[in-house]
A = this chain, B = another copy of it.
Amino acid sequence: MINASIITIGDELLIGQVIDTNSAWIAQELNKIGILVKRRVAVGDTWDEIWKALDEESAHSSIILITGGLGPTADDITKPLLCKYFNGKMIVNDAALKNVIHLFENIFKRPITPRNLKQAEIPDTAKVLINPRGTAPGMWFEKEGNLFISMPGVPHEMKGIMEEEVLPAFSKKFDLPHIAHKTLATFGIGESTLADMIQDFEEALPTHIKLAYLPNFGIVRLRLTSIGANKEIVENELNKKFTTLQELVKEYLVTNKDEPMERVLGSLLLKRNETVSTAESCTGGYIAHLLTSIPGSSGFYEGSMITYSYKAKEDLLQVKNETLINKGAVSEEVVKEMAEGLLQKLKTTYAIAVSGIMGPDGGMPDKPTGTVWVAVGDNKKIITKKFHFRFDRQKNIQLTAMNALNLLRMFIIEEGK
């Protein structure tokens, strides 16, 4: 089994100004080709810390992937350090230089500064990995049986180098085992209850198959992972276990793929050749954003009205002023009128309407922060549901969206002709 460590470099990671999304992506891609990430380490822009991390991770893993610390600005010390660590001297690399010139002439269309040209200098002990999307090249070093790959921290540049250079080279160089994952998602059941429900199944799993619980925003995903030399054997065995697992949790099953709720709903609509629109108050467009973040969403999504104020609710969705005054904007009656107004306006098969108080302010004694009304339905029937979330604004918005999408999903399954 080939193990990898990921080292991310940058003070911004250690003071929490930036969230590391690179590591997750790298881990996913390595996993797909049968390399296990064993450790991920983040260190600051400090000579000693980077040096020690290289030493330490060499003892843990045979492949060390390094991101960050290669930008054109002066807070970067990674390149000179790598030069010294791998006993090289800096030289201008022809291929890297050509790439810098090409990018500035044809893509960025800006004049080149001396600082940009310096990006083409790399240690002579490195093999250059061309960066198709930026000026900082990747570098490939070998030392005492370990492999070190250094890449810039800008996510889309790192991804370009991984996809075009690193991953193909790994697949060629190593005889890799097969790793398979199968993930399903449940909604509306707690982690503990789920665990009790599948306890016998879990205890009977062979040691090379692992089960993990991944709870997030009302969804609990269950992931089975198996590993072995033979792809067919690994996948057949895993598929059987996965079928059993689906059966065990079927009452709460949302999807048997590793996909978000919005994609589940989108696929359902596409399959039925139906459409949805949203009328959003408290979620402020977040449900529409989720639906339209799926490629091809124009096949099932028509449009939305984001109606934050009373006036917008009245003018755009024909919510009655007296309903707003008598019942308040966060009420069953108002979300129902919002959904009705929306269906009339946009003539989609289904509508989702939400109104709530996301916080931190706006709560009232009878409607505390976190109170949300959701309506979903079609032109024959509209159902409503009240929720009460207890988190911060961001999380309340996300939970409202997830619950609204799930409510429509269940409505379609139960009521859809």
Q: Which residues of A are interface residues toward B (Cβ below 8 A)? A: 10-21, 23-29, 31, 36-45, 49, 53, 56, 71-75, 107-108, 110, 113, 115-116, 133, 154, 156, 181, 183, 190-196, 199, 202, 210-216, 221, 223, 225, 258, 278, 280, 283-289, 291-293, 295-298, 301-309, 311-312, 315-316, 345-346, 359-361, 390-395, 397
Contact = CB atoms under 8 A, between A and B. Distances in A.
Given A16-B37, A285-B289, A315-B346, 10 more contacts: A12-B214, A14-B38, A15-B225, A16-B31, A17-B214, A39-B49, A284-B291, A295-B393, A298-B308, A316-B346
Given A74-B195, A191-B72, A212-B12, A285 B304 contact: yes
Copies in the complex: 2
B113 A193 contact: yes
Nearest to A309: B302
Contacts of A302: 308-309, 311-312
Nearest to A10: B212
5 contacts: A12-B212, A13-B23, A13-B40, A285-B292, A298-B309
Contacts of A11: 210, 212, 225
Given A212-B75, A315-B345, A192 B115 contact: yes
Contact of A39 (B43, B212, B288): B43
B14 A214 contact: no
Given A42-B40, A113-B196, A312-B303, A75 B210 contact: yes
Given A71-B213, A292-B308, A192 B116 contact: yes
